[in-house]
Structure 1
Amino acid sequence: MRLIRWIAAAALALVAGCSAMLPRGGASTPSPFDSYAQAQAAAERILPFQTRVAELQGLGFDAAGGTNVTAIPYPDLLARLAPYSGVPMDALDPGIRQCILARASCRAWVFHFERMERDREGGFLADFFNVNRVTRITGWSFDVTVVASEDLVLFRNAGGQARIDRVERQHNPLGPLQPAGESAGSLLTR
């Protein structure tokens, strides 16, 4: 009987610190790019007044059939590209000026690419019983705005986060009973 208790205590101690049993996960936005640098290099190949809209797909930016592409309607496009009406037209980027003059034939897309990994850290039992949860999130994200009129790209702007590294911590002193305590607290404050 003592041997069984000792084995159970040893197994429990082993599992308590075993981070290999914690959930792991990831999220990626389907993209032809494996890294921030690849996405940035592809975006830099989009040249205003040279690149044709038909060429965008070959560069990895599929406006028609791509995923995570937002088509920006003309009124919203004006608010994004020229938010201050007091700025003279000649002070705007030439591509933005031409877009404004083209009016409704001007189109824009925002392409969003990202890769994220979520890894739980810490002890298994504290995580399992919802007492302490620590999640490390790493990855990158990249957005490209492309403005075109007819079949010609007029403007391109890109940016994002080359290296995402953050930690989310959650501490629940009541462990698995924490949601019940929060529900009871909200009922009392009504």
Structure 2
Amino acid sequence: MKVFSLLFVAGLLAGCASLLPTAKQDVSNKWHDFEDAKKSFDLIVPYRTNMDTVRELGFDPNMTPNVQILNHSQVVRAVLPSPLQELASIPKGILACMRAQEACTGYLMEPSRIDRKRDGNFFLDFLNFKRNTQVTGWKFGALIVVIDNMVVYKQWSGRPRIEETELRRNPLGPLQGAGESVINLP
């Protein structure tokens, strides 16, 4: 009977890890990974690619969530360092944007896939003593500058491989935040 009880408890504890929360942050996009997004972005050619092609490649400012739309002055600030460089060193598309003023628009997009998975001891996590979270994924940043439906400048950035571990320890467990909640009472 003792052996059966020990096996039951061991099985219960082993299965508890699957009860830990997981989260997935997926900024809606058509790409599976960073390289896939970069390949699509590389098909955009300034002064040859129009917005219809940009949309077909997956960088649709009207359909992609969380797109930041920049006016001409925000585009200049995002691309050029301060203080302003010599005129000859400013990219052609940014000079055109400065001249076009209101006809110039920038689209800043950050498609990503981020997975957050908690692991470790279920009871320590559940009681808020120790939480260990594994974060994996990727994030791609694309700035596309358009004048009158034509791409004039593009710039990319990103994190091709995200691997992070977040470890949070609370020596008081479930009581750790109790003092803050008492202080914030109306």
**With structure 2 as the length reference, what TM-score do the two structures score?**
0.88
* Alignment map for 1:24-63 (pairs within 5 Å): 24-63=22-61
AA aligned opposite 1:178: Q
Amino acid at match of 1:149: I
Deviation at 1:12, TM superposition (A): 4.3
Instruction: Say whether the 8 Å CA contact 1:19–1:121 is kept in structure 2.
Output: yes
User: What is residue 94 of structure 2 aligned with on the other side?
Assistant: 96
Contact 1:56 1:63 in 2 (8 A): no
Structure whose CA Rg is larger: 1
Given that residues 72 and 97 in structure 2 are in contact (C-alpha distance below 8 angstroms), is that contact kept between their aligned partners in structure 1? no
Aligned equivalents of 1:103, 1:169: Cα separation in 2 = 48
CA contact under 8 A between 2:72 and 2:98: conserved in structure 1? no
Deviation of 1:107 (Å): 0.7
Shift of 1:85: 4.8
1:21 corresponding residue in structure 2: 19
C-alpha contact 2:110 2:142 (8 A) present in aligned 1 = yes
| In 2, Cα distance between equivalents of 1:13 and 1:80 | 56
Structure 1 stretch displaced more, 45-54 or 61-70: 61-70
How much does 1:81 deviate? 2.3
**Cα distance between partner residues in 2 of 1:71 and 1:105:** 13
Q: CA deviation at 1:176?
A: 1.3
Secondary structure at the aligned position of 1:49 is classed as coil
Matched-pair contact (CA < 8 Å) for 1:15–1:124: no
Per-residue CA distance 1:13-64 (angstroms, 9 max, x = gap): 4444542222222110100111111100000001111101221111111122
Superposed CA offset, 1:134-186 (max 9, x none): 010100000100001112111000110000000111111111121114556x6
SS at match of 2:110: strand
- Deviations 1:86-107 (CA, angstroms, capped at 9, x unpaired): 4122211111111111111111
Which stretch of structure 1 is more off in the superposition, 39-48 or 66-75? 66-75
Q: Which residue of 1 aligns with 2:162?
A: 164
1:79 equivalent to 2:77? Answer yes
Length, aligned pairs only: 182
Q: Give the share of equivalent positions with the same residue, in percent.
A: 28
Q: CA deviation at 1:80?
A: 1.5
User: Do structure 1's residue 130 and structure 2's residue 128 form an aligned pair?
Assistant: yes
Using a 3 Å threshold, how does the CA distance of structure 1 residues 175 and 48 change in structure 2: closer, same or farther? same
More displaced stretch, 9-18 vs 36-45 = 9-18
Distance 1:80 1:23 in 2: 37
Aligned-partner SS, 1:87: coil
